[in-house]
A and B are shown apart, each in its own frame.
Chain A
Amino acid sequence: MAKKIVRAVLAALLVGTIALAATAPYGAPGTRKSSSITLSISQ
């Protein structure tokens, strides 16, 4: 069982490393559109 867990951890590390090395997606936090309030002061 311990061997299986160690192998799974190694496989997981390899998955992350392959993804980092071989993929190039574009990911970013979105820019939420927010409503703006305009105040005008008239004298």
Chain B
Amino acid sequence: MTLLTLYALSALLGLFIALWRSPRLPRYNLLVVIAAVPQLGSLLQIDVPGMFLVSAAGLAIWCLSNRAIPGVLVVGAGALMNLAAMALYGGRMPITADVLAALGQLAEPGTHLAGSKDVVVASSPLWLLSDWLIVMSEPFVLVVSPGDILVVLGILLWLILSPHEERQPEMLTVHATPMPVEPFARLIPGQSARPALTRLALLAAANPAFAERLLQDPLAAAAAHPHYHVQLDAHDRATLHAIRARARTVGEFLGELADVVDGK
């Protein structure tokens, strides 16, 4: 039960960090839950053959699916180191009798240690990946593996370095419908004999909303431009009336206006 308490404490620490940093949540977290079930069984001394592979596969797929999140690949590397050592001993983490002896505990090789995933071994070819780093001794014993340290480091990296990006509130977004692209006639550079109409054409080309108003009522739009006053003579007004009578779209209106400005 002591290890379950440790896991609960780490979750509590994670809660505080998550409240502070609001991390990005990974996807497909059901895979982690599936991977945890056989490990919980191992803690409770319930060993089901083959379930170790479920843990390994679940963790591997989860890490690959979330590899873009900082720290997840570090968690994956740590888990891989642990699972590699455990694969040699039927899904149990080796701990050498010497390490236990250093803690004042005696156990025969082959003993499953109650309340943990460990099995006692005399020696192991992968001893470097086994539980041998004594973090705490009396009164609470805690021995971890290098893989455990990487997993904890990866979790901390995820919690601290992947802040969740808040979505922009709906009220602040602009819903604009793009205008259909129409073939606007291009003005030919040079002096125009119709300077007032040239100014109107340029203003309309720069501002589609103003072009729409010109199409509806060219004289009123020209007179009421908020920034530029366009002085139209009688000839200009007659020309605008004539164009307005023929044009049905903004594109046609501007095309004809450009032709007049260019003297065509």
Q: Which residues of A contact B (CB under 8 A)?
A: 4-5, 7-33
Contact = CB atoms under 8 A, between A and B. Distances in A.
Given A12-B15, A15-B159, A18-B32, A23 B140 contact: no
A19 B10 contact: yes
Interface residues of B, number: 62
B164 A22 contact: no
Contacts, number: 151
Nearest to B93: A24
Nearest to B132: A26
Interface string B222-248: 000000000000000000000000000
A29 B139 contact: yes
Nearest to B20: A8
Contacts of A27: 2-3, 6, 115-116, 140-143
Contacts of A20: 7, 36, 39-40, 43
B116 A7 contact: no
Contacts of A16: 7-8, 10-11, 14
A14 B7 contact: no
